[in-house]
Amino acid sequence: MENDSSVLQIAAEISAGKNFREIDPGLIRHLVKTEMQPNESEKETIKRVRSKLHQISNAYREGASNYQDLITAIRQSDNSLTSLEAAKPLAIELMKSHASTRERIAILDVFYSQIFAALPHIQSVLDLACGLNPLAIPWMKLADHFTYEAYDIYRDIALLLNVFFEKLNIRGKADSMNLLEEFPQSECDLTFLLKTIPCLEQVDKNAGTHILNQIRSPYAVVSFPIFSLSGRQKGMKVNYEKHFLEIYDPQRWELERMLFPNELVFLMRRK
């Protein structure tokens, strides 16, 4: 069963499921290859890959089947919505559909104010495994005429973000990407990697180290959740901080630690 045709066949069957059809096909193929076990049935592989996809991605989506409705809502929003400040109410409503951004809504002002107060003028941003974080652009203290590049495993999220960018005349682009096998080659001032490393390390234990080593921007913001989706802490803050300090390169980066109610943040400055 461990041949290319079997991988493609199983991946195609998983991708056809309504809860998985928007996920980047490259990630699904990667998971099939890593999860396949000798002498097991296709059904067993499919079940395990679907479970893994739920753990690392689907669990964070709320009303996943309604993303097309959210895209329609952006397109039909008030045509006078021409400023970032005016877009805040719409952005907040959209953020509620993704668990990772929803839990940040209550602290948007302080979260981005504190981060950007520690940065110079940022002209360009790369947002990795972005979810709906780019909708928080109205709270970010970015330079005039900034550019914003975002990548996520979900194609419908990328489409939603592109519609949002277009609606607000933001010079941005979003696309789907499997960070376990690809990495954007764009130059930027700031890289976001928010609450992503624990998810990817459920697939590849070396994913965090691998991605951190590929960041080329002079500044990066890396964060970790303090609570699980069920609201339990389980020592996450202590464990994630210890883990991050083990995998980042102190020869390349200086760190500034920031702690928020639901999130542990490391601002990285290149030496």
- pLDDT tens digits, 103-141: 899 999 999 999 999 999 999 999 999 999 999 999 999
Task: Find how far residue 15's CA is from the centre of its chain.
Answer: 20
- Whether 69 and 109 have beta carbons less than 8 Å apart is answered as no
The answer on pLDDT for 267 being more than 80 is yes
Question: What pLDDT is recorded for position 207?
Answer: 94
32 CB-side CA count, 13 A: 24
User: What's phi and psi for 70, nearest 5 deg?
Assistant: -65, -40
Question: What pLDDT is recorded for position 62?
Answer: 58
Of 2, 58, 59, 12, the residue nearest 35 (C-alpha): 2
- Whether 206 and 228 have beta carbons less than 8 Å apart is answered as no
Domains and CATH numbers, the chain: 4-56 (1.10.8), 79-270 (3.40.50.150)
Of 199, 129, 157, 125, the residue nearest 61 (C-alpha): 157
3-state helix, strand, coil in the chain (%, to 5): 45, 20, 35
The answer on pLDDT for 83 being more than 60 is yes
Question: What pLDDT is recorded for position 1?
Answer: 43
**What does DSSP say about strands 190-194 and 219-225: parallel, antiparallel, or unpaired?**
parallel
The answer on pLDDT for 154 being more than 50 is yes
Q: In angstroms, how far is the first alpha carbon of the chain from the final one?
A: 48
Amino acid at 176: S
The proportion of the chain whose per-residue pLDDT surpasses 70, expressed as a percent, equals: 92
